[in-house]
Amino acid sequence: MQRSGGTIGDCVKLAEKPALTRIMPTKGWASLRLGDIWQYRELLYFLTWRDIKVRYKQTIIGGAWAILQPFITMVIFSVFFGRLLGVPSEGIPYPLFVYSAMIVWTFFANGVGMASTSLVAEANMIKKVYFPRMVLPLSSILSGMLDFLLAFIVLVGMMIYYGRGPTLAVLFLPLFLLLALVSTVGVALWLSALNVMYRDVKYAVPFLMQAWLFATPIAYPSGIISSSVWKMIYGINPMAGVVEGFRWVLLGMEARIGPMIAVSSGMAVLILVGGAYFFRRTERIFADVV
């Protein structure tokens, strides 16, 4: 039997021919293609779960490190800054004042630290398999959310111990969690892409995090900055708004940080958008130089 345009055999051969997908590197300022991340959401889930399982593998105290890191830092700061130097804490018990900031700072610092090296650590995977490269730093950051939850439980216990309950401002807590996540992802995208091209980033990140820690109002309140202009300039640090926002929604600190939080929020979004486009622009060379 023959039909117009070919025989039935030709049609069967065409039907059996496997589909061919050609992946070409992007040129110029490519679109973010965030839909690809949603398509590969299962890969994101498995990489996140893998990072959680291997993080404290073969450690003696396991997930307790998630609590000890901010807690021990809180103890050190309380001794030196709170007791010896008498740094003010806006009427809040100093240990609670510091720990409420340390848990969100630890999430940020650990997320940036792990995400910045995630692409180089998975070099073989990048060279052999196609997937949205952005999945790797995102999985490193998301795996830190479990640590944050564990540390947050301790914060709740400390709030009960010191008799410090949240006010209605706690309803804004999801917004500041989102701001912390936006800040972390934005910085991580920049540094992870730069680390592929310049391995100096790997050694610079720990120093950067130490300097950033003292540039953020963790051991001291932002209220020591009296000038409103300087306070808004201080808000260029996105973590300044995150930390002060956390204290406001959880500990009921005075709500006088609106402009600074607005500046921090705008800066966090700017870093995220810039980092995402920079990541997309440079990812086409990852497989060649990683």
pLDDT digits (tens, 9 = 90+) for 191-239: 999 999 999 999 999 999 999 999 999 999 888 888 888 888 888 999 9
- Please compute the mean of the pLDDT values over residues 146-160 and round it to a whole number: 94
Tell me the three-class secondary structure of the chain, residue by residue. Answer: CEECCEEHHHHHHHHHCCCCCCCCCCCCCCCCCHHHHHHCHHHHHHHHHHHHHHHCCCCCCHHHHHHHHHHHHHHHHHHHHHHHCCCCCCCCCHHHHHHHHHHHHHHHHHHHHHHHCHHHHCHHHHHHCCCCCCHHHHHHHHCHHHHHHHHHHHHHHHHHHCCCCCCHHHHHHHHHHHHHHHHHHHHHHHHHHHHHHCCHHHHHHHHHHHHHHHCCCCCCCHHHCCCHHHHHHHCCCHHHHHHHHHHHHHHCCCCCCHHHHHHHHHHHHHHHHHHHHHHHHHHHHHHHHC
- Which of 138-147, 268-277, 281-290 comes out lowest in average pLDDT? 281-290
Give the pLDDT confidence score for residue 269 in this predicted structure: 96
* Reported pTM: 0.86
- Which of 9-23, 109-123, 148-162, 217-231 comes out lowest in average pLDDT? 9-23
Q: Residue 30 pLDDT > 90, yes or no?
A: no
Give the pLDDT confidence score for residue 1 in this predicted structure: 44
Give the pLDDT confidence score for residue 111 in this predicted structure: 95
Give the model confidence (pLDDT) of 80-124 as tens digits: 999 999 898 888 999 999 999 999 999 999 999 999 999 999 999
